[in-house]
Amino acid sequence: MSSNGRKTREMILDRIRVANGDGPATTFAPSPNAEWESLPREYDRRGALDAEARTALFAERMADYNAAVYYSDEDGLRATIADVLHERGKRTLVVPHGFPQEWLTEHVHVINESEFDSASVEDILNVITTCTVAIAATGTVVLQHGAGEGARRLSLLPDYHLCVVRESQIVETVPEVMDVVRVNATRPTTTISGPSATADIEMTRIKGVHGPRFLDVVIVR
């Protein structure tokens, strides 16, 4: 083995030892945390837009992805959700644990998350959730699957997803989102930028392969 090969091998083994807590790094491999801290960060870590501009940018990017965006205040949220569901013709919803019940209309049949499983996905095609944070620059909602957001399967299996996003949850940049999700870094994290869509080798666009074909977002101001 060449000297470069031996050095690379020792670097890999050193990193494994450090990760396992089996000892400090040698001269071959500095601490991964030290390496991470030393990385240059010359990119923008904070946005410059005010709340109104952030919301407008988020809605614009969401629309680019063919997601429908609606607006409401707190007092009118229940009526807004009811109107969106009526417009979509949705009468049955899977509702995750911790979702505010006062936002739901009596005209919608509610199925609790505990009653939902993969075997019933053909019959349960609609879900409503909150989110952890949203990114204006990329038109993305981020779920870490806490209260009101449901298990990860709820954001992947149903055909229709209605997501409630508070204006205060919208940040401008990805680095700002990383600061938010780092608080619960051990949780699964799902990022959603519009309805699910992909293209095969012939560039035929197909909806619903990796998640819901239809996404609506209600922004609460």
pTM above 0.85, yes or no: no
3-state SS, 84-97, equals: HHHHHCCCEEEECC
- The structural domains of the chain, with segments of one domain joined by +, span 3-38, 51-220
Q: Which tokens belong to 197?
A: 């869509």
Q: What is the pLDDT of residue 115?
A: 85
Mean pLDDT across the chain, nearest whole number?
Answer: 88
Interacting residues of 192 by C-beta distance below 8 A, sequence separation 6+: 140, 141, 142, 143, 155, 161, 163, 211, 215
| pLDDT tens readout for residues 71-92 | 999 999 999 999 999 999 999 9
Residue 128 — very low, low, confident or very high, per pLDDT cuts 50/70/90?
very high
Of 131, 111, 110, nearest to 58 (Cα)? 131
User: Which of the four CATH numbers 3.10.20.600, 3.90.1150.10, 3.40.190.10, 3.40.50.10420 does domain 51-220 have?
Assistant: 3.40.50.10420
Interacting residues of 130 by C-beta distance below 8 A, sequence separation 6+: 99, 148, 149, 163, 164, 165
Residue 180 in this model has a pLDDT that exceeds 80: yes
Whether residue 150 contacts residue 96, with contact meaning beta carbons closer than 8 Å, is answered with yes
Interacting residues of 47 by C-beta distance below 8 A, sequence separation 6+: 54, 136, 137, 171, 172, 173, 176
Q: What is the pLDDT of residue 218?
A: 98
